């Protein structure tokens, strides 16, 4: 389970007070909080990226010459082939 302390060697569940694994004697006890901290940071990163993207789009929404020029180029090409 993700909310339990686990041995990093044998993956057996250990109690939070255990300094070493009861099964294999390993001192590598994995804390369950690392996963949640990672989740929180991942969510924050996604939120920040989304917000920055939104601001970027809002700033560039009024002037988007790329699509227009691309359409113009395509139209010019088709006109050339017609003639
Ligand atoms: Zn172990």
pLDDT digits (tens, 9 = 90+) for 34-77: 888 999 999 999 999 999 999 999 888 766 556 667 677 777 77
pTM exceeds 0.85 for this model? no
Number of separate domains in the chain: 2
- Which among 17, 10, 41 has a CA at the least distance from the CA of 31? 17
Q: How far is the CA of 20 from the centre of ligand 1 (A)?
A: 8
Question: Residue 7: its pLDDT value, please?
Answer: 93
Flag whether pLDDT at 24 surpasses 80: yes
In a shared domain, residues 77 and 44: yes
CA quadruple 28, 12, 21, 30: dihedral sign: positive
In a shared domain, residues 12 and 45: no
In a shared domain, residues 38 and 57: yes
Q: How far is the CA of 42 from the centre of ligand 1 (A)?
A: 29
CA 46 to CA 49: how far, in whole Å? 5
Q: How far is the CA of 41 from the centre of ligand 1 (A)?
A: 28
Q: How far is the CA of 81 from the centre of ligand 1 (A)?
A: 73
In a shared domain, residues 40 and 26: no
């Amino acid at each position: 389970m993700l909310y339990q302390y686990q041995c990093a060697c044998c993956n057996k569940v250990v109690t939070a007070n255990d300094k070493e694994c009861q099964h294999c004697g390993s001192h590598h006890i994995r804390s369950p909080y690392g996963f949640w901290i990672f989740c929180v940071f991942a969510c924050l990163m996604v939120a920040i990226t989304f917000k920055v993207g939104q601001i970027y789009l809002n700033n560039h929404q009024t002037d988007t010459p790329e699509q227009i020029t691309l359409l113009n180029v395509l139209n010019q090409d088709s006109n050339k082939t017609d003639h």
